[in-house]
Amino acid sequence: MIYVDADACPVKAEVEAVATRHQVQVKMVCNGGLRPSANPLVDMVFVDQGADVADMWIADHAGAGDVVITGDIPLAARVIEGGARVVKHDGTVLNDRNIGQVLATRDLMQDIRASDPFHQGGGKAFSKADRSRFKDALDRALR
């Protein structure tokens, strides 16, 4: 099973294409605003509005052997602890060997932003190369 933290996911079409090729069921979990897919392998799961409600649903349902698509590092840590594999939108694979460092870096950057109100950081633009790396990583995770 693939679980997608779908509200701000830029690779929903890629997830659907790779899942279809592998004949794997997908749960797109969101607070609403997404159109249901006509693909019989893709189920939309609409959860209540609120901070982290979709994340909690995914964490409660994903387990060993599942793949979770998310950019949310705390969610990734929770599902990895439960045995799931995680692929970020840019194709980065998170696992029990690297999640501690990724969490520490996230926390450090959050502290830096909080201490400097003029820090105008932001992520790099999402590229075609990111999309391609994601598809390759998801394909490997499903094999």
Q: What is the CATH number of the domain that holds 43?
A: 3.40.50
Structural domain harbouring 56: 2-141
Write down the pTM of the prediction.
0.88
Half-sphere exposure of 103 (CA within 13 A, CB side): 12
DSSP, res 23? T
DSSP state of 37: P
Q: Count up the domains in the chain and report the number.
A: 1
Beta-sheet pairing, 42-46 with 26-30: parallel
Cβ within 8 Å of residue 107, ≥6 positions away: none
pLDDT category, 22, cuts 50, 70, 90?
very high
Q: 29: how many CB neighbours lie within 10 A of its CB?
A: 28
Report whether pLDDT(101) > 90: no
pLDDT band at 97 (very low <50, low <70, confident <90, very high): very high
**Residue 87 to residue 137: CA distance in whole angstroms:** 7
Q: What is the mean pLDDT of residues 29-36?
A: 89
